[in-house]
A and B are shown apart, each in its own frame.
Chain A
Amino acid sequence: MTLDAKIPQGPLAEKWSKHKFDLKLVNPANKRKYDIIIVGTGLAGASAAATLGELGYNVKAFCFQDSPRRAHSIAAQGGINAAKNYQNDGDSVFRLFYDTIKGGDYRAREANVHRLAEVSVNIIDQCVAQGVPFAREYGGLLDNRSFGGSQVSRTFYARGQTGQQLLLGAYSALNRQIHAGKVKMYTRHEMLDVVTIDGHAKGIVTRNMLTGAIDTHAGHAVLLCTGGYSNVFYLSTNAIGSNVTAAWRAHKRGAFFGNPCYTQIHPTCIPVTGDHQSKLTLMSESLRNDGRVWAPKTAEIAEQLRKGTLKADQVKEDDRDYFLERKYPAFGNLVPRDVASRNAKEMVEEGKGVGGSGFAVFLDFADAIKRLGEETVKAKYGNLFDMYYQITNENPYKQPMRIYPAVHYTMGGLWVDYNLSTTVPGLYALGECNFSDHGANRLGASALMQGLSDGYFVIPYTLGDYLAKIGPKKVDTNHPAFEKTKQDVIAHVNKLLSLKGTKTTNEYHRELGHIMWEYCGMARTEEGLKKAKGLIQALKADFWKNAIVTGENEEVNASLERAGRVADFIELGELMIDDALMRKESCGGHFRVESQTPDGEALRDDENFAFVAAWEFKGENQPEELHKEQLTFEAVHLSQRNYA
């Protein structure tokens, strides 16, 4: 099959307006005849469920947590971008579009990104109207701050917990529709498969995590809003429950997977302390507005710091290397995430890492506290400083934070066209679950923007077109396809429950994470990736022989839930390796050691790799087939990214 991104004709800035007019509508009386299934209730899922409910569709929403409010969007800290230009500092829709394309290292689709920049302004208005308490100036108007990869202040925020406030806004809109009877909410339900009839998605199979009941649900369309797959690395900033299972099972039912190797390593996370570590904690990128990143100038000084014979505040100014400010004077500490991360890694490799393990550099607020006063710093970042203190037992007001990169976000995801439809008609992917808008690297404060854009302002239009075309004929779970898919799920669950080996699924997960981080993390080589492929295949074979899964299906069973997710992560890991091997260029977060500039920056190969990789599942243990969506750029000129 050939990939059709369905990008509308016409000038870039008019595509979305024109497309909205061209899309078919469902009349208000007919909307109630359609059933929509939405999986996941983060920013994308909750906003889509609320909006589609308001429009009059019947929505069934599912989440694995005990409440839709707990989706991992809640943990986003720094902020949300919008091209409001409230600061009169030269921002515009085109500039936000341009920054996002450039930040993504020219591997995103122009038309999608322009639409994202266009609707960004509506998102802020919507959230304010819901009562989201954004930060404000004394005059009562909205405040902004700056974020990496941009030279304007366009980030709206609510202290260091913007994701929480935006999600609670979307959750409140969702609650209103639940109360109105337009959305039926299923909590503690995990989606385990997609049901297709004649190639169209018509429903899902779920497991009730309280009773173990395997149920089928029918609808005219299925929206996957299930987030990213950073937890394939075991340690990441994602919530423990974040997983790829819904997206992966959809992939196995025909949805192509786009750019799986594009992962974002966030530069400022709290370093690992030991093997017991279950997750990593992010320190918001907003901290780089006021914090200065440095490492000691020499390995000798670093050695003393590691041993504790020298304290950070005793290191003389001349002995400090503010390496981001030195190498990138124009952007300084606010270079994009991929650039900041690679530079921190370089420092560590040169023996200049600090902290007990040596895997850390400093993020120092001494200057900011001197300039602004401790109270102002506290007002801006108080909750982050508290979080750092709780975890490390070190006071960041008195000594610099120790930070190191960690996996944070996945730009890859299910391939979608301009309408957010996967390659399975009727199956849509929204938010981090899709691959669409961030290219090979996402800019800070753009994830929240994309999740809400997809849910509030894109899918309500594009879904109507599909529904109008297929008509409102009822979909019934009595169709044999439902029973068949359900039996597949039951067989899979039983196979997992039969595992009574010697290693816990957590141990397999950690091993997978080690492989991925070592060979498919911040730097990737052909040799390493080939080795990793063998290691993962061996791990997979061992998992299905030696894993331990306790308990039974008909009860609350975290062991079973975990096992299913780890099994899917292992399969995804292999695809990520294949994708990273195939893409011999470096771009954004995907750094192939063989492809770098003389300064050690990511070197793209536009002639051979200016495409989206979309992988098609061909059967268990079969190599996947690569499809290419060529990227064409009309509005921006491709150039080597330069933040100096």
Chain B
Amino acid sequence: MNLTLKVWRQKNAQTAGKFVSYKAENISPDMSFLEMLDVVNESLTHKGDEPINFDHDCREGICGMCSLYINGHPHGPKRGITTCQLHMRTFHDGETITIEPWRAEAFPIVKDLAVDRSAFDRIQQAGGYVSVNTGGVPDGNAIPIPKVIADEAFNSATCIGCGACVAACKNASAMLFVSAKITQLGLLPQGQPERYRRVQSMVAQMDEEGFGSCTNTGACEAECPKEIKLTNIARMNNDYFSAKLFREEEVHEQGH
């Protein structure tokens, strides 16, 4: 296949960016999207030009490092997969493909197609855990958990932190991401002692990072490569309002 790429190039967050067109030639339908970009980068390198910078690592859909807004969709046109799992057989010969970075104020550009998602880490640091030290914990089977609850918690826990939900959202809201962790721990017995502190701390950090609010459009759910459900946000809102109404004193102390 031969394709035309319109790629966003931007030196860093301080410099203005622009679209640059490239030819991607002799592309095999069995290539992954990132392997197609590898081919383009190899030819740029041979010419002494600077290769296109993009984030990627595991290339099997689990590390959450890859991103890319492809033809108007985070992780491309197919549902339930990341960019690294997208294969070129999805496209047709002669097509023009537009590739942009995630666009959100809370995700500043690093270079070209890579963005800074450290805001996600800071939200997790604010309370996305069960406060147990290593050692001194009960036997694993001393905490029975109904299978249906364990499975539901697992579904939320599969979030890979890629940021597609934010990129898809017209408000650049991070609520699907935040609610997935809150739901996972909120469903499990281990997460109960800190349930209402956690939701307040994480939501406060989310707001501080400059993410927008949820207006229930559902684009995040539609574009999430791990198909995290919108019901996570409903659970988070429920816990959040319950906490704000009745348990506001239970917040994580700074430096706790």
Contact = CB atoms under 8 A, between A and B. Distances in A.
Interface in B97-152: 110-111, 114, 116-118, 120-121, 124-135, 137-141, 143-147, 150-151
Nearest to B42: A504
B184 to A, nearest CB: 7
A504 B134 contact: no
B18 interface: no
A386 B158 CA distance: 15
B85 A390 contact: yes
24 contacts: A51-B134, A54-B133, A65-B63, A66-B118, A67-B64, A70-B57, A74-B58, A74-B63, A125-B139, A128-B140, A129-B138, A129-B143, A158-B154, A171-B124, A179-B127, A180-B256, A239-B57, A241-B57, A276-B31, A279-B60, A457-B135, A506-B42, A550-B45, A559-B50
Given A164-B158, A168-B157, A387-B85, A273 B63 contact: no
Interface of A: 47, 50-51, 54, 65-70, 72, 74-75, 84, 86, 122, 124-131, 133-142, 158-159, 161, 164-165, 168, 171-173, 175-176, 178-181, 185, 187, 210, 237, 239-241, 273-274, 276-279, 281-282, 386-387, 390-391, 393, 456-457, 460, 500, 502, 504, 506-507, 548, 550-551, 555-556, 558-559
Contacts of A122: 135
Given A131-B129, A173-B129, 17 more contacts: A66-B114, A129-B132, A130-B129, A130-B130, A131-B130, A131-B191, A139-B144, A164-B62, A173-B132, A239-B58, A276-B38, A278-B35, A281-B60, A387-B61, A504-B45, A504-B46, A551-B50
Nearest to B45: A504
B158 to A, nearest CB: 7
B212 interface: no
Contacts of B139: 125
Interface in B23-55: 28, 30-32, 34-35, 38-39, 42, 45-46, 48-51, 53, 55
Contact of B38 (A130, A278, A548): A278
Contacts of B154: 133, 158-159, 165
B171 interface: no
A138 B145 CA distance: 9
A75 B63 contact: yes
Contacts of A237: 60
Interface in B211-256: 252, 255-256
A131 B134 contact: no
A259 B143 CA distance: 41
B3 interface: no
B48 A66 contact: no
A460 B134 contact: yes
Contact of B65 (A70, A134, A139): A70
B174 interface: no
A170 B82 CA distance: 24
A456 B132 CA distance: 13
A179 B63 contact: no
B89 A393 contact: yes
Interface string B56-95: 1111111111000000000000001100010101000000
- Looking at A70, A158, A273, A391, which has the most chain B CB atoms within 10 Å of its CB? A70
Contact of A131 (B61, B147, B184): B184
A-B residue pairs, 9 tightest by C-beta: A140-B144, A172-B129, A129-B137, A133-B154, A556-B111, A128-B140, A239-B58, A51-B134, A239-B57
B161 interface: yes
B4 interface: no
Contacts of B110: 210, 556
Nearest to B115: A66
Nearest to B29: A393
A485 to B, nearest CB: 28
B87 A548 contact: no
Contacts of B140: 84, 124-125, 127-128, 134, 142
A141 B141 contact: yes
Contact of B132 (A130, A158, A555): A130
B96 interface: no
A81 B32 CA distance: 33
A240 B56 contact: yes
A190 to B, nearest CB: 13
A70 B63 contact: yes
B30 A274 contact: yes
Interface in B156-204: 157-158, 160-161, 184-185, 188, 190-191
A506 B51 CA distance: 12
Contacts of A457: 134-135
B55 A66 contact: yes
A456 B133 CA distance: 10
A67 B120 contact: yes
B39 A276 contact: yes
Nearest to A556: B111
Contacts of B188: 131, 133
Nearest to B132: A129
Contacts of A556: 12, 53, 110-111, 114
Contact of B118 (A67, A281, A390, A507): A67
Nearest to B86: A390
Contacts of B87: 390-391, 393
Contacts of A159: 154
A177 to B, nearest CB: 9
A141 B139 CA distance: 11
Given A390-B81, A550-B45, A136 B184 contact: no
A129 B136 CA distance: 10
B147 A178 contact: no
Contacts of B135: 122, 126, 457
A20 to B, nearest CB: 12
B7 interface: no
A129 B140 CA distance: 7
Nearest to B54: A558
B45 A559 contact: yes
Contacts of B132: 126, 129-130, 173
B153 interface: yes
Contact of B35 (A65, A134, A276, A550): A276
A556 B130 CA distance: 36
A506 B37 CA distance: 13
Contacts of A142: 140-141
Given A50-B134, A133-B184, A555-B111, A69 B64 contact: yes
